[in-house]
C-alpha cells in the first residue's frame, strides 16, 4: 500500500501542481481523472492513435504510454493551455475550424498539440515533412487533407509567408 | 491517511486528521452527505452513523473516524432496489423536495434496527435532529407505522391517505411520486451533484454598510493572487438594469439593479464577485479587495422610509417603457441623478414615487366605506405588524454554469427556468438559443427560488471567463442576501351590524420591500386580493403603499402577501364579532362567499393592470368551516387543571389562487415512443411538490397507459416548451392543464392513425387500457406499439407528437379553514399549539398523500412564522440571528401534538381532472387562527409576529 502511491510534483499548463498518484497510472489517467483535462483523449491506449498527445517539456508524447510518475519535474502542456484568458481560440485551433479539419473532433486535440510542437519549432517544413510529422495521428473522418492544410496555413502565417491557394 | 470502513468497504483516504468527517466522505464519493447550515450541526443533512451512532459528520473530525465504521445514506437501497424504510417514506408522501430525505431514511433505518417497535416518542426523538421544511413531520409518524406493518405482516395495514375519483386509475390515487426513488436513495439529483471536477469557485464580497456609495474598488492584490481568474465589480460588469423577480415579462416590478451596483443598499449587498480555481483561493482573494465606501444614512422601517426628508434608497432617475407621466422630466429634476445611483425603470406604471421611497402603490375599492362605517352598529380598527422571515430551504441557493461550444449551460435550483434564461440573456447579451437552463431537483423553494438571485452572476462569470463556475450561498448569505417575506403593517378597519353582517372593510397596507423592488407591488397586493374576496361585502377599500428601505431584500414567499392580510382581517373579524355579541363562527358563515358570487373587488387588484372580475367558482369554504368546527368542538371551552394554563380556540378562513389567469402560460409536448411508451416534455418546474407526478397521472388517465410507461422530462429549456414557472400556485392548474391538452391532442392523433392503419373511421376508435386502440365497429385492436411502429416505418406517416398549450381567463380558487387550539401559560408566557387542523378544498387531490404533506409542511412553516421566526436587525441593519440555531425554525418537537390535514372533496370545472392548488394557501391560516385562540384563551390580542411569550406577558401587564 505504502509504495503504491507517489507524490508527483510537476508544472501543468504553467502552474506548479502536485498530485498523489497510483504508480501504475498513465499520464492520460492522471490528466483526465485528477485534473479533468478532457482534451486528453483515450483512443487506443497503446500509443498508436495520437489522440492523447500532450507536450512534455516542449516535445509531443502519447500520454497513454507515459507513466504519470514520470511527470515529476516536467512541464506538461495540454490543449487547454492554448485558450486565451476569456476562452478565445488560438490561431491553430481557429485554423482547424476554418479549414473544416474538425469533424467528429476526437482526434483534434492530439493533432493540435503536435501542430503546436511543429509551429513552435519556428521552422518551415515541406508537405512531405509535415505528413511525416503528423503521421502519429489517426483520423478516420477527414482524410487528413484539411488537417494538413490547417497546419500549413498557420505555419505560413506565423512565419510571415504569403499563402497562395496552390501552395 | 485515514483508514476506516465506509459502508462495509475498507478505505484509506488521503486527508488531514483535522478535516471534517463530511469532507472525508465527499472525497470518497458519498455526496448525499450534505451541508445545509454552514456546518452548524442543526439541519441534519450531514447525518451519518459512526460506529452505529448517528452523528453530524460536519461536527466530527476526520481523524476521529480512524478505525471506525461509517454508514452513509447512500448505503441503503438504490432507486431500483429500495429498502422497506425508503419505500415507506415515499409511500407516506414525505419525500418532497427531499434534500434531507436520505438522512431521514438513514435515521429511520437506524431506529428500526435498534428498536423494531418504536413508539411515537421514539420517532420524534430520532428525528429531532432533522430539519424538514417542505412536508412537515406528521407523515413521518405514518411512515413509521407503515414500516412497522411491512416488517411485521409483509404489507401495509394502515390507509395512507383518502383516494378520490374511483373511475380513474392514476389521478386521485396514492401512487409514489415519480422522482422519489432517486431522491430518497441519495442519487445524483441536485445542482451540487452535477458539478464538474475542474470547476472554478465564485464567492461574493458583500457590503458591511446598509447604504453607501462604492467609490473605488482596488482589486489588484486580489487579482495578483495565484489561482484567481477574475474579479467582477460594478466598474467592469455589463451596464444592464434589470431585477431579480421571475415574473412574466413585462414584470410588475421595477427594474432597479445591475449585476453589481456602485451604490450598496443593504448589509450583504453584492460589491464584487471573485472567481478562482479553488474556494480557498477565492476567499483569500476576497479578503484582499480594498473598497472605498461613502456611507449614507439608511432607513429600515416603513415609518423611517416615509418620514419627511428621509434618505432616498433610489435617487437616480426614473424611466418608463410605457405610460410615462407627462411631468417625468420635472420629477427627475428633483432626484440627484448621481451616476452611482443607476436608475429605476418601470415597464409600465406601478404608481411608484422614489422621491418618497415608494416603489409602487395601489388604491381602490368598491361601494362607499365611509358611509357604511358611519351606519354600522360597531366598528373595530387595529394595526397588525408582520416580521421579516426567511424561507430557509434546506438547499441554499446554488448555481453551476459552464460554456460549451459558445453556449452557456446553467444548472439551476429554480422555480422559473425560462425566466432565468431570459434574465441571463439580458445580462450576458447572449441570445436565448445560446443559453441552456437545466433545472435539477430543487431542495426547497417556497418562493425564494422564483427570484433570479445567483444565476445572473454565476452565468455571467462563466460567460466572461469561459470556465465552469460554481456558486453556493452560505446559510448566512441565504438570510441576508437573498429574499424574505415582506414585513408589512396592515391596518384593518371593519364594521358590522348586530345581525352579524359585515358592512364595510378598509385595509391600509404599508409594506417594506427592502432595497430592490422585486415583487414589490404584487406581494402586498395579495394581502388584499387573496383575502377581501372571502367576504360578501359591498363596501371595501384598500390603500397599498410599498416602501424601499435598506433592510435585506424581500421577495416572493409561499402565500405571497396573503398570510399578512389574513392575519389582520380574521383577527379584526373575531374582535368585531365579540364587540357585536355575535359568535365568530356564525359571523363567518353569514359573510363568506359562495359559488356564483360576483367578485367586483378584483377589478382593481390585477398585477398592475385591470384585474379579472369573475364569479366565485367551486368553493369548499363552508364545508371546511363546518367540518373544522365539529372537529375542534367549537364553542366548547377546555379548561386545564393547572390554573396558569389557559386554553382557547381560533380559526381563520383562507383562500389563494391557482396561477394567474390571463398572465400565466404553460406548454407540454407529449410523444408516443417507439415501443408504445410515452415521454412528456413539460416546461414545468417541479420543485419537489409532485408536479411531474401530476403530469404523469393526467397523461396516464387520458392515454389509458400505466404510469410506469410514462416519463416526464421537465424544467429543461432546451427540450421543453415555454412555461412561466412554478409560482402563484400555478403548477397543478397551468402545467397540469397543459399536459392534459397535450395528452388529449396525442389521443386524437393516435385515434386518427389507428383508423388510418385499420382502414376504418376515426369515430369508431377508442383508447383502452393498457395502451391500445379498439374498434367499436370491427373489434379490431392495435397496440400503441403496433401503431407507432407502422407510423415510423419507411412508409409511415411520422412520429406521433402532440403539443399542448394552456392559458385561461378562469380562476380556480382553493379555499379552506385552519383551526388552532392553543394553551398559554399566563405566568411564564409560554404558548403551545395543542391542536392544529388544516381543512382545504383543493379540488381533486391528484396526489392525495403528497397533498397532505404539502398542507402539513406549509401549516407548520406558518406556525413557525407566527410564533418563532423573525430576522432581527441591529441599528446598522446587520441581521444578528442569521444562523439556523439563532433564527428559530420549527423542528419536530415544535409540531402540534394533534395535527390533522383534511381534504375537502370539491370538483373544479376548470382544473385538470377538477384539481386546484394545494400548498401555498396552507401558509395563510396559522397566524390568525393562533392569534384568535390566544385571545380566546386569555383575552389579549397579539397583533405582531412573532406572537411570543414576551409579547404575551407584556399584553397581560406582567412585564413592561
**What are the tens digits of pLDDT across the range B475-502?**
999 999 999 999 999 999 999 999 999 9
Segment B246-252 shows an average pLDDT of: 94
Q: Do B12 and A1 touch (CB under 8 A)?
A: yes
Cβ-count burial of B492 within 10 angstroms (0-12 exposed, 13-18 middle, 19+ buried)?
A: buried
Per-residue model confidence (pLDDT) at position B453: 97
Cβ-count burial of B223 within 10 angstroms (0-12 exposed, 13-18 middle, 19+ buried)?
A: middle
Segment B713-740 shows an average pLDDT of: 96
With contacts defined as CB-CB under 8 Å, which chain B residues touch A5? 14
Q: Do B467 and A87 touch (CB under 8 A)?
A: yes
Closest-CA residue of B relative to A1 is B12
Mean pLDDT of chain B: 97
Compute and round to an integer the Cα radius of gyration of chain A.
17
Q: Over pLDDT 70: what percentage of chain A?
A: 98
With contacts defined as CB-CB under 8 Å, which chain A residues touch B465? 85-87
The string of DSSP codes covering B211-262 is: SEEEEEEE-HHHHHSTTEEEEEETTTS----B--B--PSSPSS-B-B-SS-S
Nearest to A87 among B14, B197, B466 (CB): B466
pLDDT above 80: residue A1:
no
pLDDT band at B533 (very low <50, low <70, confident <90, very high): very high
Cβ-count burial of B116 within 10 angstroms (0-12 exposed, 13-18 middle, 19+ buried)?
A: exposed
pLDDT band at B1 (very low <50, low <70, confident <90, very high): confident
Using the 8-state DSSP alphabet, how is residue B535 labeled?
A: B
| Residue A87 at interface with chain B, using a CB cutoff of 8 Å | yes
Cα-Cα-Cα-Cα torsion B737, B738, B744, B750, nearest 10 degrees, comes to: -150
Per-residue model confidence (pLDDT) at position B610: 81
Domain limits, chain B: 2-75, 194-296+397-472, 315-353, 484-660+811-955, 666-806
Per-residue model confidence (pLDDT) at position A163: 87
Q: Do B12 and A15 touch (CB under 8 A)?
A: no
Q: Which residues pair with A11 in a beta bridge?
A: A16, A75
- B941/B934 Cα distance (integer angstroms): 7
Q: Do B226 and A20 touch (CB under 8 A)?
A: no
In angstroms, the separation between the Cα of residue A147 and the nearest Cα of chain B is: 20
In angstroms, the separation between the Cα of residue A86 and the nearest Cα of chain B is: 5
Per-residue model confidence (pLDDT) at position B703: 98
Closest-CA residue of A relative to B402 is A87
Q: Per residue in B335-392, pLDDT tens?
A: 999 999 999 999 999 999 999 999 999 999 999 999 999 999 999 999 999 999 999 9
- B348/B322 Cα distance (integer angstroms): 5
With contacts defined as CB-CB under 8 Å, which chain A residues touch B196? 36
User: Is residue B148 within 8 Å of residue B88, measured between CB atoms?
Assistant: no
Q: Per residue in B272-295, pLDDT tens?
A: 999 999 999 999 999 999 999 999
Structure pTM? 0.93
| Residue A15 at interface with chain B, using a CB cutoff of 8 Å | yes
Segment B20-38 shows an average pLDDT of: 96
Per-residue model confidence (pLDDT) at position B73: 96
CATH H superfamily, domain A91-158: [2Fe-2S]-binding domain (1.10.150.120)
Residue B235, number of CB atoms within 10 A of its CB: 12
Per-residue model confidence (pLDDT) at position B277: 94
Q: Which residues pair with B819 in a beta bridge?
A: B651, B837
- B715/B438 Cα distance (integer angstroms): 6
Nearest to B196 among A15, A36, A85 (CB): A36
Q: Do A35 and B14 touch (CB under 8 A)?
A: no
Domain with CATH 3.10.20.30 in chain A: 5-80
In angstroms, the separation between the Cα of residue A38 and the nearest Cα of chain B is: 10
Half-sphere exposure of B302 (CA within 13 A, CB side): 21
- B378/A81 Cα distance (integer angstroms): 80
- The fold of B666-806 is Aldehyde Oxidoreductase; domain 4 (3.30.365)
User: Is residue B338 within 8 Å of residue B315, measured between CB atoms?
Assistant: yes
User: Is residue B494 within 8 Å of residue B504, measured between CB atoms?
Assistant: yes
Residue B194's nearest CA partner among B716, B685, B690 is B716
Q: Do B12 and A86 touch (CB under 8 A)?
A: no
With contacts defined as CB-CB under 8 Å, which chain A residues touch B467? 87
Q: Which run of H or of E encompasses B525? A: helix B522-529
Q: Per residue in A105-129, pLDDT tens?
A: 999 999 999 999 999 999 999 999 9
Cβ-count burial of B630 within 10 angstroms (0-12 exposed, 13-18 middle, 19+ buried)?
A: exposed
User: Is residue B501 within 8 Å of residue B234, measured between CB atoms?
Assistant: no
Per-residue model confidence (pLDDT) at position A167: 65
Q: Per residue in B927-959, pLDDT tens?
A: 999 999 999 999 999 999 999 999 999 999 999
In angstroms, the separation between the Cα of residue B198 and the nearest Cα of chain A is: 6
- B411/B336 Cα distance (integer angstroms): 40
Closest-CA residue of B relative to A31 is B198
User: CA angle, corner B835, sides to B829 and B840, nearest 5?
Assistant: 130
At the second CATH level, the architecture of A5-80 is: Roll (3.10)
Q: Do A1 and B467 touch (CB under 8 A)?
A: no
User: Is residue B346 within 8 Å of residue B321, measured between CB atoms?
Assistant: yes
With contacts defined as CB-CB under 8 Å, which chain A residues touch B14? 5, 20
With contacts defined as CB-CB under 8 Å, which chain B residues touch A86? 464-466
Q: Do A37 and B198 touch (CB under 8 A)?
A: yes
With contacts defined as CB-CB under 8 Å, which chain B residues touch A15? 226
- B43/B885 Cα distance (integer angstroms): 9
Q: Do B196 and A15 touch (CB under 8 A)?
A: no
| Residue A7 at interface with chain B, using a CB cutoff of 8 Å | no
With contacts defined as CB-CB under 8 Å, which chain A residues touch B15? none
pLDDT band at B709 (very low <50, low <70, confident <90, very high): very high
Q: Do A36 and B465 touch (CB under 8 A)?
A: no
Nearest to B466 among A5, A37, A83 (CB): A83
Q: Which chain B residues touch A if contact means CB-CB below 8 Å?
A: 12, 14, 196-198, 226, 403, 464-467
Closest-CA residue of B relative to A80 is B467
Q: Do B464 and A35 touch (CB under 8 A)?
A: no
Q: Do B466 and A35 touch (CB under 8 A)?
A: no
In angstroms, the separation between the Cα of residue B459 and the nearest Cα of chain A is: 14
Helix, strand, coil percentages in chain A from 3-state DSSP, rounded to 5: 35, 15, 45
- B219/B233 Cα distance (integer angstroms): 9
User: Is residue B653 within 8 Å of residue B621, measured between CB atoms?
Assistant: yes
With contacts defined as CB-CB under 8 Å, which chain A residues touch B464? 86
Q: Which residues contact residue B552 at a Cβ distance below 8 angstroms, ignoring those fewer than 6 apart?
A: B266, B267, B268, B388, B479, B480, B481, B482, B484, B514, B871, B873, B879
Q: Per residue in B758-814, pLDDT tens?
A: 999 999 999 999 999 999 999 999 999 999 999 999 999 999 999 999 999 888 999
| Residue A46 at interface with chain B, using a CB cutoff of 8 Å | no
User: Is residue B316 within 8 Å of residue B337, measured between CB atoms?
Assistant: yes
Residue B799, number of CB atoms within 10 A of its CB: 13
pLDDT band at A4 (very low <50, low <70, confident <90, very high): confident
CATH H superfamily, domain B194-296+397-472: Aldehyde oxidase/xanthine dehydrogenase, a/b hammerhead (3.90.1170.50)
Segment B307-315 shows an average pLDDT of: 97
Using the 8-state DSSP alphabet, how is residue B734 labeled?
A: I
Residue A40's nearest CA partner among A4, A69, A11, A65 is A65
CATH class of B484-660+811-955: alpha beta
| Residue A36 at interface with chain B, using a CB cutoff of 8 Å | yes
Q: Do A87 and B14 touch (CB under 8 A)?
A: no
Closest-CA residue of A relative to B3 is A1
With contacts defined as CB-CB under 8 Å, which chain B residues touch A36? 196-198
- B821/B834 Cα distance (integer angstroms): 6
Q: Do domains B484-660+811-955 and B666-806 have the same CATH topology?
A: yes
Interface test with B, best of A35, A85, A93 (most B CBs within 10 A): A85
With contacts defined as CB-CB under 8 Å, which chain B residues touch A83? 466
In angstroms, the separation between the Cα of residue B515 and the nearest Cα of chain A is: 33
Size of interface A-B (CB pairs under 8 A): 18
Residue B600's nearest CA partner among B373, B808, B364, B812 is B364
In angstroms, the separation between the Cα of residue B230 and the nearest Cα of chain A is: 10
Segment B31-36 shows an average pLDDT of: 96
- B156/B170 Cα distance (integer angstroms): 20
Q: Over pLDDT 70: what percentage of chain B?
A: 100
Q: Do B403 and A15 touch (CB under 8 A)?
A: no
Cβ-count burial of B804 within 10 angstroms (0-12 exposed, 13-18 middle, 19+ buried)?
A: buried
pLDDT above 90: residue B195:
yes
At the second CATH level, the architecture of B2-75 is: Roll (3.10)
Q: How far apart are the first and last CA of chain A?
A: 58
Could you tell me how far CA B916 lies from the centroid of its own chain?
17
- B591/B629 Cα distance (integer angstroms): 16
Per-residue model confidence (pLDDT) at position A2: 56
Nearest to B14 among A15, A20, A85 (CB): A20
Q: Do B197 and A36 touch (CB under 8 A)?
A: yes
In angstroms, the separation between the Cα of residue A75 and the nearest Cα of chain B is: 18
User: Is residue B680 within 8 Å of residue B710, measured between CB atoms?
Assistant: yes
With contacts defined as CB-CB under 8 Å, which chain B residues touch A87? 403, 465-467
Segment B719-746 shows an average pLDDT of: 96
Amino acid at each position: 500500500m505504502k509504495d503504491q502511491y507517489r507524490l508527483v510534483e510537476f508544472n501543468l499548463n504553467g502552474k506548479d501542481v502536485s498530485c498523489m498518484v497510483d504508480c501504475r497510472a498513465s499520464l492520460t489517467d492522471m490528466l483526465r481523472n485528477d485534473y479533468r483535462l478532457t482534451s486528453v483523449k483515450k483512443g487506443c491506449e497503446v500509443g498508436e492513435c495520437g489522440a492523447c498527445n500532450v507536450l512534455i517539456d516542449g516535445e509531443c508524447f502519447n500520454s497513454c504510454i507515459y507513466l504519470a510518475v514520470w511527470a515529476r519535474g516536467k512541464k506538461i502542456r495540454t490543449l487547454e493551455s492554448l485558450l486565451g484568458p476569456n476562452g478565445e481560440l488560438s490561431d491553430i485551433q481557429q485554423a482547424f475550424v476554418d479549414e473544416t479539419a474538425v469533424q467528429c473532433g476526437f482526434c483534434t486535440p492530439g493533432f493540435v498539440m503536435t501542430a503546436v510542437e511543429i509551429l513552435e519549432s519556428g521552422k518551415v517544413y515541406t508537405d512531405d515533412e509535415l505528413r511525416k510529422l503528423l503521421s502519429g495521428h489517426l483520423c478516420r473522418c477527414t482524410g487528413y487533407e484539411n488537417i494538413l492544410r490547417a497546419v500549413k496555413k498557420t505555419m505560413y502565417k506565423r512565419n510571415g509567408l504569403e499563402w497562395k491557394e496552390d501552395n | 491517511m485515514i483508514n476506516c470502513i465506509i459502508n462495509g468497504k475498507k478505505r484509506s483516504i488521503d486527508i488531514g486528521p483535522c478535516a471534517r468527517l463530511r469532507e472525508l466522505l465527499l472525497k470518497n464519493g458519498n455526496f448525499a452527505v450534505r451541508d445545509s447550515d454552514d456546518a452548524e450541526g442543526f439541519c441534519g443533512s450531514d447525518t451519518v452513523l459512526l460506529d452505529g451512532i448517528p452523528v453530524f459528520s460536519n461536527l466530527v473530525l476526520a481523524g476521529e473516524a480512524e478505525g471506525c465504521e461509517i454508514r452513509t445514506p447512500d448505503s441503503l437501497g438504490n432507486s431500483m432496489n429500495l429498502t422497506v424504510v425508503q419505500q415507506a417514506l415515499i409511500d407516506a408522501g414525505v419525500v418532497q423536495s427531499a434534500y434531507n430525505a436520505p438522512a431521514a431514511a438513514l435515521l429511520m433505518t437506524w431506529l428500526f434496527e435498534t428498536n423494531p417497535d418504536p413508539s411515537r416518542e421514539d420517532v420524534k426523538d430520532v428525528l429531532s435532529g432533522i430539519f424538514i421544511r417542505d412536508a412537515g413531520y406528521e407523515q413521518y409518524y405514518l411512515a413509521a407505522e407503515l414500516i412497522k406493518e411491512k416488517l411485521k405482516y409483509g404489507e401495509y395495514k394502515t390507509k395512507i391517505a383518502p383516494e378520490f375519483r374511483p373511475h380513474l386509475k392514476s389521478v386521485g390515487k396514492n401512487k409514489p411520486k415519480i422522482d422519489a426513488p432517486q431522491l430518497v436513495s441519495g442519487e445524483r439529483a441536485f445542482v451540487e451533484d452535477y458539478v464538474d471536477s475542474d470547476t472554478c469557485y465564485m464567492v461574493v464580497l458583500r457590503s458591511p454598510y446598509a447604504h453607501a456609495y462604492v467609490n473605488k474598488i482596488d482589486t489588484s492584490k486580489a487579482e495578483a493572487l495565484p489561482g484567481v481568474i477574475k474579479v467582477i465589480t460594478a466598474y467592469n460588469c455589463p451596464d444592464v438594469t434589470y431585477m431579480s423577480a421571475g415574473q412574466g415579462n413585462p414584470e410588475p416590478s421595477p427594474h432597479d439593479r445591475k449585476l453589481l451596483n456602485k451604490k450598496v443598499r443593504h448589509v450583504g449587498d453584492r460589491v464584487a464577485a471573485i472567481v478562482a480555481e479553488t474556494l480557498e483561493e477565492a476567499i483569500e482573494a476576497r479578503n484582499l479587495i480594498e473598497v472605498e465606501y461613502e456611507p449614507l444614512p439608511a432607513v429600515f422601517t416603513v415609518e423611517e422610509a416615509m418620514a419627511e426628508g428621509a434618505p432616498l434608497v433610489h435617487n437616480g432617475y426614473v424611466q418608463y417603457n410605457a405610460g410615462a407621466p407627462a411631468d417625468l422630466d420635472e420629477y427627475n429634476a428633483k432626484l440627484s441623478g448621481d451616476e452611482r445611483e443607476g436608475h429605476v425603470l418601470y415597464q409600465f406604471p406601478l404608481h411608484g414615487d422614489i422621491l418618497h421611497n415608494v416603489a409602487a402603490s395601489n388604491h381602490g375599492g368598491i361601494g362607499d366605506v365611509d358611509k357604511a362605517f358611519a351606519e354600522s352598529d360597531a366598528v373595530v380598527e387595529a394595526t397588525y405588524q408582520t416580521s421579516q422571515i426567511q424561507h430557509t430551504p434546506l438547499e441554499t441557493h446554488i448555481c453551476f454554469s459552464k460554456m460549451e461550444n459558445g453556449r452557456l449551460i446553467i444548472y439551476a435550483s429554480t422555480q422559473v427556468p425560462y425566466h432565468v434564461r431570459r434574465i441571463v440573456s439580458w445580462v450576458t447579451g447572449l441570445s436565448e438559443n445560446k443559453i441552456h437552463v437545466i433545472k435539477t431537483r430543487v431542495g426547497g423553494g417556497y418562493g425564494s427560488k422564483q427570484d433570479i438571485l445567483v444565476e445572473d452572476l454565476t452565468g455571467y462569470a462563466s460567460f466572461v471567463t469561459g470556465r465552469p463556475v460554481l456558486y453556493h450561498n452560505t446559510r448566512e448569505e441565504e438570510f441576508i442576501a437573498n429574499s424574505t417575506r415582506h414585513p408589512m403593517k396592515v391596518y384593518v378597519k371593519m364594521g358590522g351590524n348586530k345581525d352579524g353582517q359585515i358592512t364595510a372593510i378598509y385595509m391600509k397596507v404599508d409594506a417594506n420591500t427592502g432595497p430592490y423592488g422585486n415583487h414589490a407591488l404584487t406581494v402586498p397586493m395579495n394581502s388584499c386580493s387573496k383575502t377581501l374576496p372571502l367576504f360578501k361585502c359591498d363596501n371595501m377599500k384598500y390603500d397599498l403603499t410599498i416602501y424601499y428601505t435598506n433592510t435585506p431584500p424581500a421577495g416572493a414567499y409561499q402565500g405571497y402577501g396573503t398570510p399578512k392580510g389574513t392575519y389582520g382581517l380574521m383577527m379584526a373579524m373575531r374582535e368585531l364579532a365579540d364587540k357585536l355579541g355575535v359568535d365568530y363562527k356564525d359571523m363567518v358563515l353569514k359573510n363568506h362567499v359562495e359559488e356564483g358570487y360576483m367578485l367586483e373587488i378584483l377589478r382593481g387588484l390585477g398585477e398592475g393592470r385591470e384585474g379579472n372580475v369573475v364569479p366565485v367558482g367551486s368553493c369548499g369554504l363552508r364545508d371546511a368551516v363546518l367540518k373544522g368546527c365539529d372537529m375542534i368542538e367549537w364553542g366548547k371551552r377546555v379548561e386545564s387543571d393547572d390554573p396558569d394554563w389557559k386554553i382557547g380556540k381560533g380559526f381563520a378562513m383562507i383562500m389563494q389562487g391557482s396561477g394567474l389567469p390571463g398572465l400565466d402560460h404553460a406548454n407540454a409536448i407529449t410523444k408516443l415512443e417507439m415501443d408504445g411508451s410515452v415521454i412528456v416534455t413539460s416546461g414545468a418546474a417541479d420543485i419537489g411538490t409532485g408536479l411531474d407526478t401530476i403530469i404523469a397521472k393526467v397523461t396516464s388517465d387520458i392515454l389509458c397507459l400505466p404510469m410506469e410507461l410514462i416519463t416526464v422530462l421537465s424544467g429543461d429549456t432546451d427540450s421543453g416548451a415555454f412555461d412561466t414557472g412554478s409560482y402563484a400556485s400555478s403548477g397543478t392548474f397551468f402545467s397540469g392543464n397543459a399536459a392534459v391538452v397535450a395528452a388529449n391532442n396525442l389521443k386524437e392523433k393516435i385515434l386518427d392513425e389507428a383508423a388510418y392503419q385499420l382502414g376504418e373511421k376515426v369515430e369508431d376508435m377508442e383508447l383502452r387500457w393498457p395502451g391500445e386502440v379498439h374498434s367499436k365497429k370491427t373489434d379490431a385492436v392495435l397496440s400503441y406499439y403496433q401503431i407507432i411502429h407502422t407510423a415510423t416505418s419507411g412508409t409511415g406517416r411520422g412520429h406521433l407528437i402532440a403539443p399542448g398549450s394552456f392559458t385561461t381567463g378562469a380562476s380556480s380558487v382553493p379555499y379552506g379553514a385552519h383551526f388552532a387550539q392553543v394553551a398559554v401559560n399566563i405566568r411564564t408566557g409560554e404558548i403551545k399549539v395543542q391542536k392544529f387542523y388544516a381543512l382545504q378544498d383543493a379540488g381533486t387531490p391528484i396526489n392525495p398523500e403528497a397533498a397532505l404533506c404539502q398542507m402539513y409542511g406549509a401549516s407548520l412553516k406558518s406556525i413557525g412564522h407566527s410564533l418563532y421566526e423573525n430576522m432581527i436587525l441591529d441599528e446598522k441593519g446587520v441581521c444578528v440571528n442569521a444562523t439556523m440555531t439563532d433564527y428559530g425554525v420549527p423542528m419536530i418537537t415544535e409540531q402540534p401534538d394533534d395535527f390533522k390535514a383534511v381534504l375537502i372533496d370539491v370538483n373544479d370545472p376548470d382544473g385538470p381532472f377538477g384539481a386546484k392548488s394545494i400548498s401555498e394557501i396552507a401558509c395563510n391560516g396559522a397566524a390568525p387562527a393562533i392569534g384568535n385562540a390566544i385571545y380566546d384563551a386569555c383575552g389579549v390580542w397579539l397583533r405582531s409576529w412573532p406572537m411570543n411569550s414576551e409579547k404575551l406577558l407584556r399584553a397581560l401587564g406582567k412585564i413592561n
